[in-house]
Structure 1
Amino acid sequence: MSGSQSYLVVGSGSIARRHIVNIKTLFCEARVGCVSASGRALCLEEVGADIVYQSFEEALSAEPLLAIVASPAPFHVSQAAMLLRAGIPVLIEKPLSDSLESFAAAADVMHANSEKIEVAYNLRFMPSAIHLKTLLEKRTLGRIHHVLIDVGQYLPDWRPATDYRENVSARKELGGGVLLELSHELDYLTWLFGAFDSVYCVASNSGALEVNVEDSAYAILSRGDGLVASLHMDFLQRAPSRTCKIVGESGTLIWNLLRNSISLHTAQDGEKILFSDTEYNRNEMYLDELSRFVKVATGELKPEVDIYQALNTLRLVEALKQSSVTRQVVNIGDFSS
């Protein structure tokens, strides 16, 4: 793909600006355009693009080779559909949408163009994630008994220079809350271990953050073969945490995503470090994701995370939300788009 071509980023938030920088890093002659998700006027200095468009129609007229939708989740599907109708491949920031209902409004277009859509669950591109998947495929632990996932960070610390209460993560109307915002964990859980059948969840708002979304969630997922996963997410932890512990018949694997490391704990050998790259630059996974998406856009590769996988994650989110409301175990298969 020629670097002299036009690229489009929809949105002006931190992830949109990251994508603009990364496009220019990978394609030094690229002409990167940006359009606001809400229609407000942008300035070049604000987003770092080569050109800002005043409307979606103007952006489409530039005929970009590909587009990245980095707007709030409620806009993802409608904006992606407009791009796809114009023949433009799309990388959609996670989650795919804020709800199955929102997705259904443009489902026909999305399904018809599924091979041109990538959903940005970028944790899959971490070297430690790839190594962990290989270990599991080799059955390093034998039979797996259960999985324990913990992710959390104090929301005001995410972007200290901004008022966190105005950020997407904190606003229900923009698709905020831990279940959607931290759905990376739901994606990799299924990617590594396969689908689950049922969930029980308690999601709540502590009142500590002055937001209108759930700021913590505790969930148990299970399936017929006996595998159980427990999941904890929050916006409250002062000490950031992002770990996945896998307990099997021959030992325990601990994946520390913040340290980009994997350790194996066995009765015979104690702790053994299987992978560690603490100097890893986390932007590399975004660059790897973008590099791969370029090949999806040109038809060389199939999407790493297609809409069907992303829909399964969205179904899981909705099952968790319903369980939290009803305080009952919910079958994930009852949700369809």
Structure 2
Amino acid sequence: MRRRHTIQPRQRFVKIESGGLGMSGTHNILVIGAGSIGERHLRCFQSTGRCQLALCETMPERREVIAEKYGVPSYASLNEALASGKHDAAVIAAPAPFHVSIARQLTGHGVHLLLEKPVSISMDGVEELADEVANAGTQVNVGYMMRGLPALSQMREAVRSGRFGQPVQLVVTAGQNFPFYRPAYREIYYADPAMGGGAIQDCITHHLNAAEWLVGPITRLVADSEHCVLEGVTVEDTVHVITRHKNVLGSFSVNQHQAPNEFFMTVLCERGAARFQMIGQRWYSAQQAGGEWQLEAEHPAERDDYYIMQANAFLDQIEGKRRPVCSLAAGIQTLKVNIAILESVMTRTWKDIA
């Protein structure tokens, strides 16, 4: 039976002279980084109506523009923001190489973290961060937002219930025209692997994390990638990965240059299959031999709605109402996968993941 669910309309933000929202909020959230993703987080947290916001950005012109646009106070440095003593939680939307150092500094001040993906570009300082978070008792969520999507969550529940039998294979195919969605891709972090750029660290990492959530951690992989189409950069825009999730076989085929925007994640099981379609937020099932996919549910939403759901989930988490959508441990596991893929491409060999 077809079930259609519509995400609740977003609450509009109200710009006021003192910064933050025009309604009282419990939490004071510091957004670190005023790039496109930082601005999106600022806008979407503001739309929840549950918190006060402030911005930390080192680039003066960008800081002034975004702070004025959303009517929030701003800081030129993290030290300045921490000295204010106002913030109980922070969103780390700076480039990936700086995630861990910023997170450790904030954790030392008892600040809860929404840490953008990936956790980092290497394992340097990552285990230390995990230990410090455990000792501080602070909350951390890693920004792999696919785990919070209603259709994918429902599909996972159906797969894990045993309705289709044990999973045996997972297949991901995805592609989009990246320049259409991010025209400035040549001038931002994406152009530099050392800043977390390229399809492996910036794109397929989302799919890998969601797959691990569905069928378990990746234990072994081999990968290939190439720069094929995108002009003005040399980073990979096409990636193929073959994975093992213990007994489950996986494959991922992703590009950032095809004309249509599409994403499909299919879990094949002993007695049927389930498929998630990102566009339209739908999931399907198939159990009859020779039959067709049957629509189970759809959840139409705009892109900001995903991040508003993530913001509300994070606020619920720091209020003790729910577990993290993506824990720090799960984010670290996916970082290990990212690193293994990059190594596999370089060495042309299979890689085991501890």
TM-score of the alignment, normalized to the shorter chain, above 0.5: yes
Q: Which residue of 2 aligns with 1:52?
A: 74
The C-alpha deviation readout for 1:171-215, integer Å capped at 9, x for no partner, is 223111111112111111110101232101112222643323221
Q: Which residue of 2 aligns with 1:84?
A: 107
Q: Which amino acid aligns with 1:152?
A: G
Do the aligned partners of residues 91 and 250 (structure 1) sit closer, same or farther apart at CA in structure 2, a change above 3 Å counting? same
Q: Which residue of 2 aligns with 1:141?
A: 164
Do the aligned partners of residues 247 and 60 (structure 1) sit closer, same or farther apart at CA in structure 2, a change above 3 Å counting? same
In 2: Cα distance, 1:228 partner to 1:195 partner: 11
Q: Which amino acid aligns with 1:204?
A: E
1:44–1:51 CA contact under 8 A, matched in 2: no
Pairwise CA distance, 1:249: 2.8
Do the aligned partners of residues 299 and 332 (structure 1) sit closer, same or farther apart at CA in structure 2, a change above 3 Å counting? same
Pairwise CA distance, 1:133: 0.8
Pairwise CA distance, 1:83: 1.1
1:74–1:102 CA contact under 8 A, matched in 2: no
Q: Which residue of 2 aligns with 1:35?
A: 56
Of 208-217 and 85-94, the range deviating more from structure 2? 208-217
In 2: Cα distance, 1:193 partner to 1:92 partner: 23
Alignment of 1:174-189 (within 5 A): 174-182=195-203, 183-189=205-211
Do the aligned partners of residues 167 and 39 (structure 1) sit closer, same or farther apart at CA in structure 2, a change above 3 Å counting? closer
Q: Which residue of 2 aligns with 1:173?
A: 194
Secondary structure in structure 1 of the residue aligned to 2:293: strand
The structure 1 residue matched to 2:44, chosen from 19, 22, 28, is: 22
Q: Which residue of 2 aligns with 1:244?
A: 265
The structure 2 residue matched to 1:228, chosen from 233, 249, 253, is: 249
Q: Which amino acid aligns with 2:197?
A: G
In 1: Cα distance, 2:231 partner to 2:133 partner: 36
Q: Which residue of 2 aligns with 1:128?
A: 151
Pairwise CA distance, 1:224: 4.2
Cα-Cα RMSD:
2.3
Alignment of 1:1-337 (within 5 A): 3=25, 5-27=27-49, 30-36=51-57, 38=58, 40=60, 42-47=62-67, 48-62=70-84, 63-101=86-124, 103=126, 106=129, 108-113=131-136, 115-160=138-183, 163-182=184-203, 183-206=205-228, 208-225=230-247, 227-265=248-286, 266-267=288-289, 269-277=291-299, 279-333=300-354
Pairwise CA distance, 1:304: 2.6
1:68–1:90 CA contact under 8 A, matched in 2: yes
The C-alpha deviation readout for 1:277-322, integer Å capped at 9, x for no partner, is 3x32332232222122123324444323111111100011111111
1:204–1:216 CA contact under 8 A, matched in 2: yes
Of 261-270 and 304-313, the range deviating more from structure 2? 261-270
Pairwise CA distance, 1:253: 2.1
The C-alpha deviation readout for 1:219-273, integer Å capped at 9, x for no partner, is 1112442x21001122222211211122223233221111211122332653311
1:153–1:241 CA contact under 8 A, matched in 2: yes
TM-score, scaled to structure 1:
0.89
In 1: Cα distance, 2:120 partner to 2:137 partner: 15
Secondary structure in structure 1 of the residue aligned to 2:334: helix
Pairwise CA distance, 1:150: 1.4
Pairwise CA distance, 1:144: 2.5
Q: Which amino acid aligns with 1:31?
A: Q
Of 173-182 and 100-109, the range deviating more from structure 2? 100-109
Pairwise CA distance, 1:97: 1.0
In 2: Cα distance, 1:5 partner to 1:144 partner: 41
List, as ranges, runs of 4+ consecutive aligned residues in structure 1 with deviation greater than 6 Å: none
2:56–2:63 CA contact under 8 A, matched in 1: no
Percent identity of equivalent pairs: 24
Pairwise CA distance, 1:170: 2.6
Q: Which structure 2 residue ranges, 5 or more long, are not aligned?
A: 1-23
In 1: Cα distance, 2:63 partner to 2:219 partner: 48
Q: Which residue of 1 aligns with 2:14?
A: none
2:222–2:348 CA contact under 8 A, matched in 1: yes
Q: Which amino acid aligns with 1:205?
A: H
In 2: Cα distance, 1:233 partner to 1:268 partner: 28
Q: Which structure 1 residue ranges, 5 or more long, are not aligned?
A: none
1:323–1:329 CA contact under 8 A, matched in 2: yes
2:167–2:215 CA contact under 8 A, matched in 1: no
Secondary structure in structure 2 of the residue aligned to 1:139: coil
Q: Which residue of 1 aligns with 2:11?
A: none
